[in-house]
Amino acid sequence: MDDREIRPNRYMNPYVAGVLLGLVLLASFLVLGAGLGASAGIARIAAGAEMCVLRSHTLASEYFGSWGTQPLRYYLVFMFVGIFVGALFSALLAGRIRPSLERAAGVSSRTRVILALVGGILVGFSSRLASGCTSGQALTGSAQLMTGSFIFLICVFVGGYGCAYLVRRQWND
């Protein structure tokens, strides 16, 4: 069996995973009094990195400066690091780590990487502009029965299906 024939272990049942995610969200509300999200943790990690290089500039920043001299002391930073380490550990145990770059036949590797970076930057900027990411809106906001979060979820699914319909022929190879 060569490297191309490696088959990873099965994925977790999505219904079980959903129930477990709901229990984690419930635990977050009960223990911390707050929900889950990711963008605030990433933004605080960026503030911590900038603090190491340009401390006075970071503290004077209207955005990063409001978090004080220890921006990494925030529960979402620990959650983000825990998710990364847990996902890496899970992937190692399941034998799913095999670096690759997925792309359509008509798209070069360079174009794929550039588009992925631009998309990631836009999503990151948008999540901070909106003061929350999809995790915060979909999980935490829906659990709190917020109308805006339900509208957001509807828009995400409609937009996702619409985009998938428009680009579906690019991935038929």
Mean of the pLDDT values across residues 64-91?
89
C-alpha dihedral, 25 to 47 to 81 to 113, nearest 10°: 100
- Of the CA atoms within 13 Å of residue 65, those in its CB half-sphere come to 9
Mean of the pLDDT values across residues 30-51?
87
* pLDDT at residue 2 tops 50: no
Using alpha carbons, list the distances in angstroms from residue 130 to 12, 102, 124, 162. 32, 30, 10, 22
CB atoms within 10 A of CB 105: 8
* pLDDT at residue 14 tops 70: yes
How far is Cα 40 from Cα 128, in angstroms, rounded to an integer?
Answer: 8
Model's pTM, two decimal places?
A: 0.69
Determine the pLDDT at residue 1: 45
Token digits of residue 96: 């799913």
C-alpha dihedral, 136 to 137 to 142 to 145, nearest 10°: 110
3-state class of 112 per DSSP? helix
How far is Cα 12 from Cα 21, in angstroms, rounded to an integer?
Answer: 12
Percentage of the chain with pLDDT > 70? Answer: 92
Residues contacting residue 112 through CB under 8 Å, at least 6 positions apart: 101, 102, 103
